[in-house]
Structure 1
């Protein structure tokens, strides 16, 4: 279960301030427990979560009792400031996210009722208020929800329970192709991303294979950023300025390269991946690096350098997407 030795001094300080005590009389003290929203407001380690809750319109929700559960409670998996920083986000940069996406992301961290730490174990799951499931994974002495490590549990609030996690959880609610299109069409970030990947998938006629349908397989997909494709163009002696420039390459080559990013393994979070080789649909093994600070590097057979995960653990309806900073190449000789 949870390894208590992982708690930092900062988190201990946070936990220590979660109970507010007021004096009724000189001899009679009554504990006044803050709401979930007030926990974020009163602790500097959750200042980005506080700002996100205000921007996303959920601060009021988490200040009050839950009308959709008989207990009146919520359970919240709360990302720390460091968790947001992994995505390059702080109080000032939250504006790069579209508000509807931010709202849904925050609600993905919330469940109805009280889920206490003794009910969090590997192989279990929990459903968010959006109706999307998150799964619990044990890795060594640590417990994860999806790809996010649980740092502390059972922080009591007047309207539920808070558990602390080290990464922001992301779920799109749509399949892999539609998730990439959401990024490409600025539904997630205010600036487009994965535009080259979407163009490549369409050009190579692979959209159908990666679109969810009844009984369709579930994949792990390594999704290169726009800059990763631009860097590939430079390496090939080409100029990739706009997504359509990917069509300078033969269609069958683009298809081969794209399939080198897709693994038919039922969709794995970083917490479920291990160092070693995995075989993509393209056929040539990819090499995963050591699991370090919640991510792994990945290298194609034709890469001189490993790709890093920029945005890991994006849950879709037919797999898990890890956004990476390099195109994974097979041997092209």
Structure 2
């Protein structure tokens, strides 16, 4: 099977598995993706769009506390695996509060950059890489973390260096400086 056929097959599987529900519940009347009740505009940056999403407020606060606003507002391209507020709620809240303190900015930046790839990787490309690597594709992040991208049925999953698995719950939210894939678990670097 050629790479083009694999990508087309992977894209078709993804579209079939998420298409109707995604189109109805995650798209605005203008055809733009909706995240956390907010319309995501492909002409705005990752930070500009994320700042309007009700389910990404913890991520936005963490990006601000880590001093990464300017970076993620830059030209990119970036692929951001964006954990929701519910994903952050799975963590020990005293540790989250500790990480948000100015003296822990470097540790927080390390965690957040484990969610960023210096490329514009749409879901069909990720699924193609997974298929090409026999079901398990290593993804190196800006923060130096290595995530393992796999398929779980028709869903893309990412396993962090601690063995935690995040599922992409909303893919391909195009931004002016990259793409966002919403995930359900915070990815952590090895201790």
Quickly name the TM-score band, shorter chain normalised: 0.7 to 0.9
Indicate if the aligned counterparts of 1:277 and 1:286 stay in contact, CA closer than 8 A.
yes
Distance 1:278 1:301 in 2: 11
Q: Which has the larger radius of gyration?
A: 1
| 1:298 and 2:158 are equivalent in the alignment | yes
Structure-2 residue corresponding to 1:178? 48
Structure 1 portions without partners, runs of 5+: 7-78, 90-96, 109-169, 184-191
Question: Superposition RMSD on alpha carbons, in Å?
Answer: 3.1
- 2:31 alignment partner, one of 80, 97, 105: 105
TM superposition score normalised by structure 2 = 0.74
Distance 1:291 1:264 in 2: 24
Structure-1 residue corresponding to 2:177? 318
Structure-2 residue corresponding to 1:217? 76
Indicate if the aligned counterparts of 1:175 and 1:318 stay in contact, CA closer than 8 A.
yes
Change in CA separation of 1:228 and 1:246 when aligned onto 2, cut-off 3 Å: farther
Distance 1:313 1:194 in 2: 16
> Secondary structure, in 3 states, of the residue corresponding to 1:289?
strand
Change in CA separation of 1:328 and 1:204 when aligned onto 2, cut-off 3 Å: same
Distance 2:178 2:153 in 1: 22
User: Hey, which of these two has a bigger chunk of helix by percent?
Assistant: 2
Aligned length: 166
Indicate if the aligned counterparts of 2:168 and 2:182 stay in contact, CA closer than 8 A.
yes
Distance 1:87 1:206 in 2: 31
Q: Any runs of at least 4 consecutive aligned residues in structure 1 with deviations exceeding 4 A, and if so which?
A: none
Distance 1:88 1:102 in 2: 9
The structural deviation recorded for 1:103 is: 2.3
> Secondary structure, in 3 states, of the residue corresponding to 1:85?
helix
- 2:140 alignment partner, one of 258, 279, 296: 279
Indicate if the aligned counterparts of 2:149 and 2:156 stay in contact, CA closer than 8 A.
yes
Structure-2 residue corresponding to 1:263? 117
Structure 2 portions without partners, runs of 5+: 34-39, 131-136
Structure-2 residue corresponding to 1:83? 19
TM superposition score normalised by structure 1 = 0.44
> Secondary structure, in 3 states, of the residue corresponding to 2:108?
helix
Distance 2:23 2:99 in 1: 27
The structural deviation recorded for 1:253 is: 1.0
- 2:66 alignment partner, one of 199, 204, 208: 204
